[in-house]
């Protein structure tokens, strides 16, 4: 019996010694913290070195949730079994039943960058520009943002407009944008001084306001808001399938939108229509207007046609349409016109000179005259029930409708 007790005691002493040794060794086991950039990829041998072990099963603890290596690779969208660090976390290496937790501290030394172009030119943060009262400037800015991930630059789609300029108000203002990459916030500001147009900038020799930015899809062209005589937009041919003959041109955007418009009409109704007029340069408009005067007299010519420089056709943003074998002047009487009135805005077009609005637009009703203003504005104009002149006045600048 004494021998048995002696053996048992010896066993207990050895076991206790082994446990104490294990505790002491674990207590003395030094685990290093890994410091890296967000989106860096950490080699497995670096993890083993930091943990002081030769290897083991890897799991990841991120925001109090434990993932397998395969699950984490899917979460981080990194190649399978690559450890890409998307944020600070703990890597757990399990070997021989023991866990070794390696802290990984991720920093972000590459905040998102905002890039701003004004009138096509790159500008710096805190740049200063001057504009005149009531000028439309929003569309002059091109804004984008990028972030750097693991030496790869990626585009961000979350740039927010923070401060907007109201050009109806004189004085110093600012327009600002903000973007966040999840860690760092980046802001970009342009200081805008809105000045009174005391120098009659934008007025031509005939006393008519001349548009400074005629290329804008939102440009309002009226009898008192003319295009520069030498203005020629970028043009492309409208496919012959959609025109009464070859050779009709419009801006590339309008050419494409025209095909979408007519194709949609055909798919939804089985009806078709053709473009019968589109871009018209200053010289051609001058000949047309002179011809109307000779045929109908000055007063009638002004109702029927725009004076040279004041025709929307010069913008390249207009199409006149007609039914197959039909007459343009009778387009209003057709089913195509009915469909256009209800659906053109879906494709960025508005009926520019609606019936009963001659006192506002200055032109007789033209059901066939479709003006492209972009899908967003077209939908807003359509839903408002206003003419473009009225909608523009209420949303962009103050316009004297009696001019």
DSSP string, 107-140: E-----EEEEEETTEEE-TTEEEEEETT---GGG
Predicted local distance difference test score (pLDDT) of residue 12: 63
Predicted local distance difference test score (pLDDT) of residue 397: 52
Q: What is the pLDDT of residues 333-368, one digit of tens each?
A: 999 999 999 999 999 999 999 999 999 998 899 999
* Banded model confidence at residue 108, pLDDT cuts 50, 70, 90: confident
- With a cut of 60, say whether residue 381 has pLDDT above it: yes
- With a cut of 90, say whether residue 136 has pLDDT above it: no
DSSP state of 160: E
- With a cut of 60, say whether residue 45 has pLDDT above it: yes
Q: How far apart are CA 347 and CA 339, in angstroms?
A: 13
Predicted local distance difference test score (pLDDT) of residue 400: 43
| Residues whose CB falls within 8 Å of the CB of residue 340, separated by 6 or more in sequence, listed in order | 265, 273, 321, 349, 351, 367, 370
User: Which stretches of 270-311 are assigned E, i.e. beta strand?
Assistant: 274-277
- With a cut of 50, say whether residue 213 has pLDDT above it: yes
Q: What is the pLDDT of residues 184-201, one digit of tens each?
A: 889 999 999 988 754 333
| Rounded (to 5) percent helix, strand, coil in the chain | 35, 30, 35
- With a cut of 50, say whether residue 401 has pLDDT above it: no
Predicted local distance difference test score (pLDDT) of residue 51: 79
Contact call for residues 370 and 350 (beta carbons, < 8 A):
yes
Distance of CA 290 to the CA centre of its chain: 43
Predicted local distance difference test score (pLDDT) of residue 207: 55
Predicted local distance difference test score (pLDDT) of residue 341: 97
Average pLDDT on 21-29 reads 50
Bridge partners, residue 144, by sequence: 115
Q: What is the pTM of this model?
A: 0.54
Predicted local distance difference test score (pLDDT) of residue 173: 94
Q: What is the pLDDT of residues 138-160, one digit of tens each?
A: 778 899 998 876 666 778 878 89
Q: Determine which of 32-36, 197-201, 326-330 has the lowest per-residue pLDDT on average.
A: 197-201
- With a cut of 70, say whether residue 27 has pLDDT above it: no
Q: What is the pLDDT of residues 296-313, one digit of tens each?
A: 888 888 877 888 899 999
Query: What is the percent of the chain where pLDDT is above 70?
Result: 84
Nearest to 351 by CA among 361, 340, 363: 340
Predicted local distance difference test score (pLDDT) of residue 200: 35
């Amino acid at each position: 019996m004494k021998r048995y007790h002696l053996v048992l005691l010896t066993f207990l002493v050895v076991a206790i010694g082994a446990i104490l040794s294990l505790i002491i060794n674990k207590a003395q086991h030094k685990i290093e913290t890994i410091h890296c950039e967000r989106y860096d990829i950490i080699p497995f041998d670096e993890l083993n070195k930091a943990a002081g072990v030769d290897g083991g099963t890897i799991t990841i603890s991120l925001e109090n949730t434990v993932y397998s290596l395969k699950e984490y690779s899917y979460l981080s969208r990194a190649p399978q079994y690559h450890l890409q660090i998307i944020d600070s976390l703990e890597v757990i290496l399990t070997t021989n039943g023991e866990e070794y937790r390696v802290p990984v501290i991720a920093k972000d030394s590459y905040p998102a960058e905002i890039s701003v172009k004004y009138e096509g030119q790159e500008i710096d943060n805190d740049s200063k520009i001057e504009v005149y009262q009531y000028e439309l400037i929003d569309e002059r800015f091109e804004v984008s943002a990028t972030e750097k991930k693991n030496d790869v630059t990626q585009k961000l789609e979350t740039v927010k407009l923070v401060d907007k300029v109201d050009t109806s108000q004189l004085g110093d203002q600012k327009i600002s944008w903000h973007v966040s990459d999840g860690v760092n916030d980046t802001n970009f500001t342009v200081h805008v001084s809105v000045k009174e147009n005391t120098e009659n900038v934008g007025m031509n020799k005939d006393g008519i306001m001349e548009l400074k930015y005629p290329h804008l899809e939102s440009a309002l062209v009226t009898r008192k808001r003319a295009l520069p005589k030498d203005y020629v937009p970028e043009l492309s041919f409208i496919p012959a399938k959609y025109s009464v003959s070859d050779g009709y041109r419009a801006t590339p955007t309008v050419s494409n939108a025209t095909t979408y418009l007519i194709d949609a009409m055909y798919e939804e109704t089985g009806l078709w229509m053709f473009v019968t007029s589109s871009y018209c340069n200053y010289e051609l408009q001058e000949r047309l207007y002179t011809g109307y005067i000779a045929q109908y007299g000055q007063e009638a010519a002004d109702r029927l046609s725009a004076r040279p420089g004041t025709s929307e056709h010069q913008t390249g943003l207009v199409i006149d349409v007609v039914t197959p074998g039909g007459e343009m002047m009778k387009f209003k009487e057709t089913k195509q016109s009915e469909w256009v009135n209800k659906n053109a805005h879906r494709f960025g077009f508005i009926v520019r000179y609606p019936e009963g609005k001659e006192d506002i637009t200055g032109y007789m009703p033209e059901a066939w005259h479709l003006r492209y203003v972009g899908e967003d504005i077209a939908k807003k104009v359509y839903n408002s029930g206003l003419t473009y002149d009225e909608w523009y006045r209420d949303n962009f600048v103050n316009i004297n409708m009696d001019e």
